[in-house]
Amino acid sequence: MTSPLFRVLGSAWALPVVTPYLPRTTMRLCLSLLSAGLLGLAACAPPYPEPPDTRIETVYDTLHGVVFADDYRWLEDQAATETREWIAAQNAYAEVVVGSSALRDSLRGRLARFMDREDVGSTREVGDWEYFTMRREGEEMGRIYRRPAQDDETEEEPSPDGDYDVFLDPADFHPEYRVPVSLGDVSPDERYMMYTVRQGGADEIELRIRDLETGQDLPDRLPSALYGGIDWDDDSQGFTYVHRDRYIGPRLRHHALGSDVAEDPVLWGDGYGPEVFIGRNETPDGRWILYNANHGWARADWFIQDARSRGPLRPIVEGVAAHFQVRYREGDLLILTDWNASNYRLMVADPADPDPEHWEERLPEGEDVLQSYTFVDGRIYATYLHDVADRIRVFEMDGTPAGEIDVPDHSSVRVSRGEEEGSLELTSTGYLQPSRTWALDLETGERTLTDSADVPFDTAGMVVRQLWFTSADGTRAPLYVMHREGIELDGSHPTILGGYGGFNVSLKPGFSTTRATWVEMGGVWAVATLRGGSEFGEDWHRGGMLENKPNVFADFIAAAEHLIAEGYTSPDRLGISGGSNGGLLVASAMTLRPDLFRAVLCTYPDLDMIRFWSFQDANNMPALLEYGDARIPEHFEAMQTYSPYQAVTDGVEYPAIMLTTGDLDTRVPPLQARKLTARLQAASASGLPVVLWYDEMGGHAAGRGRPTSLRIEDSARELAFMAQQLGLSMPSQTP
């Protein structure tokens, strides 16, 4: 039998080509004439070459009385020889479709100017040395260096021109820089340094410990797995850590140096299943130990323990359907919560008597969402989200309002204590505005720009607007749109619409090299605010989770229709882009309204929601409390209306789509993208390409686990595909 790889590489179309943009109506006419024998192949360019053959072997599942046919179950076997050949064939086909072109070369060069820049991390002083991460221009990945500790009065920041000792070099772990390495915590006696080793983009890490006196690693090593909450003991002879077992659940364990890791005892966590995250932290004064159990993104439980007596854990709050973020400050527990307050409020509790009935309200719920807070010079500086842009409001310590800090429009903002007494550090970024930091004198209000991201992007002539659209059920939501000044709203503009809509995540303004490149080229980029996020509080989040998840896709479709109605674009010029849960978003929107979009970029996506619960080896089990579990009838009823893999129908004219994933995505199983690729290649009648780009070491974590050159190449490939499909070309002059 001829392998799929041979059929691709041995075919007449193996050389990369670039196909010009054609409206879908023209493509439809060409295909009709070709099938009728009334037009020669050369007279109708494209059509695109046929994708690799994929064998069909149908498996039937029945759930709640509904029968589902799965033609590509065999592609779930990631290690099978046939699957590996199929992946190689798909990568070759993707390169044929995208092709080599001046456009792709220009994109690669422009993105390199954005992404291949020196990056120097902050220093960490340990004994007589300072440790820091630095990547010089042209390097694939940052190295971890050390230098002698600096005198406070003469200290200078590390420089790419400097000569320093290499402490850890990723090249020593993988010659092609596919194994990211990161520093961890230092033992209290400053003798031991933890560091983590990650295979590609996997979520799992391996924990190692370096003896800073000998320069050698200890034999103690946590094998590759899901870990969190790693804290050294006060005597530096051991540490606690959370190990998340995908089948059993999370457990807080303790390791004594020199002992067998396999025998590490469980301290806490028995009874929690794999859909729960747990954590532990000791208060800075050593008086209390706080424990938390987050049930996915649905609710949180908190407990407290007397650190002196190590007596039983006492609930702070347990079994309440709300979120709680607990901090300890100067003898008080500070609790940021949406309990009876969808937009959040700040409560204060006594750690010795933490029952909720004794909590006091410090900052009440307001019209905007309270996201975070910090303390500077005896005042509370609270960050609120107002119509998906940050606002900073000031309060006295008793909660009395004391003013507001002016911030740029349409921006995300972070505040912290300044270096000088009586000052505040304010950092801001926007969709087309790289990060800037000011020192703010709290007495005079004077601002001094202290840092600005060294990004070669000219904001002059760029526009960011906020529109509002109305979803199918009457819900209104914001839609950010960015483009060059002076465009005519004639429906002609190649446009990419993105969104997320899930997991209580606020999709706020922030600079992106991909968006900046697209807008520089003359395109339009839009970002929709969707239910499922936290942009308008917990009610907004719950409006897009579990049985309400279909609202997210209705919102996204309404945002697309609004862009068209306002004259920014048309269905033949509109593309959509999303990753992870955002990949589910764009794939679902594509199957629900294939007529509305010309192109789809779907990266590292969840796609088979009916069987998501069963992919336990590589899925994120806490997501069951967000997406739902198809084994539960009420969840199933909602999920079968949008699960993309089951929604694909033969003979439908689907948009062009590029999917991306990798073997080491251990958060979103890559088998889903493999199967949807095969299904769409067989089903679509549009003549537009369905391609999969697959990285055997790619995953969700650590920038997909890709070194700099491959991340640049990924972005160039993806933007070239979208530009070709939507008819956007690189201007003759780029910055």
Rounded to whole angstroms, how far apart are CA atoms 218 and 193? 10
Place of tokens 């020196």: 118
Question: Which helix (H) or strand (E) is 415 found in, with range?
Answer: strand 411-417
Q: How far is CA 436 from CA 394, 414, 484, 609, in A?
A: 21, 10, 22, 41
443 residue type, one letter: E
And the tokens for 460?
A: 């002059």
Rounded to whole angstroms, how far apart are CA atoms 392 and 428? 11
Rg (CA), the chain: 27
Strand 124-126 with 599-603, pairing:
unpaired
Closest CA to 517 of 142, 135, 111, 20: 111
Rounded to whole angstroms, how far apart are CA atoms 529 and 40? 46
And the tokens for 482?
A: 């960015």
Rounded to whole angstroms, how far apart are CA atoms 36 and 31? 9
Residue count of the chain: 735
Question: Which helix (H) or strand (E) is 559 found in, with range?
Answer: helix 550-565
Q: How is residue 234 annotated by DSSP?
A: T
Closest CA to 386 of 373, 400, 370, 375: 370
Q: Are 502 and 552 in contact (CB under 8 A)?
A: yes
Q: Is the backbone peptide bond immediately before 170 cis, with ω within 30 degrees of 0?
A: no
Place of tokens 């992946």: 87
Is 580 among the residues known to form the active site?
Answer: yes
Q: Are 448 and 454 in contact (CB under 8 A)?
A: no
Q: What is the DSSP string of 325-388?
A: EEEEETTEEEEEE-TT-TT-EEEEEBTTB--GGG-EEEE---SSEEEEEEEETTEEEEEEESSS
620 residue type, one letter: N
Q: How is residue 154 annotated by DSSP?
A: T
Please pick, among 255, 471, 700, 715, the residue that the annotation labels catalytic: 700
Rounded to whole angstroms, how far apart are CA atoms 561 and 574? 10
Percentages helix, strand, coil for the chain, rounded to the nearest 5? 25, 35, 45
**Both ends of the chain: CA-CA distance in Å?**
52
Please pick, among 187, 506, 580, 588, the residue that the annotation labels catalytic: 580
Q: What is the DSSP string of 9-29?
A: HTSTT-S---PPP--HHHHHH
Q: How is residue 706 annotated by DSSP?
A: -
Is 700 among the residues known to form the active site?
Answer: yes
Contacts of 421 (CB under 8 A, 6+ apart): 377
Q: How far is CA 430 from CA 33, 292, 456, 516, in A?
A: 48, 33, 15, 11
Edge-to-edge strand order for the sheet containing 324-329?
A: 324-329, 332-337, 345-349, 360-363
Which residues are known to be catalytic? 580, 700
